[in-house]
Amino acid sequence: MAERTVAVASRVGLHARPAMLFTQAVAASGVPVTIAKAGGAPVDASSILFVMSLGVPHGEEVTLAADGPDADRVLDELVALLATDLDAPDAPGTAAAS
């Protein structure tokens, strides 16, 4: 099983829009991914409700885990996404970035 740890860069943490973009990316990857706070139980990273229920603030580290042939690639992409301020005007998925 592949794992990555990353600090959440979004100003509001992993809530609302950042959580939506993250869970959509997980679902689109086709790889089962879990996310956990330090010392916490892992949850399904494709579920916006589970992800938001973690209550991850800006700067807190989370651990992503995945298994399968594409796990390393998918985790690298998800880490890059979480390491980006998804609330910034030029963030992926915003009109300014398109």
Is 53 inside any structural domain? yes
Q: How many CB atoms lie within 10 A of CB 45?
A: 27
- For the whole model, what pTM was predicted? 0.89
Rounded Cα–Cα distance for residues 28 and 10 (Å): 21
| Catalytic site includes residue 15 | yes
Model confidence over 15-73: pLDDT tens digits? 989 999 999 999 999 999 999 999 999 999 999 999 999 999 999 999 999 998 999 99
CA-atom Rg of the chain in angstroms: 12
Marked catalytic residue, from 8, 15, 19, 78: 15
The total number of structural domains in the chain stands at 1
Q: Residue 66 belongs to a domain with what CATH number? A: 3.30.1340.10
pLDDT at 98 over 60: no
Is 25 inside any structural domain? yes
Could you tell me the residue range of the domain that residue 57 belongs to? 2-82
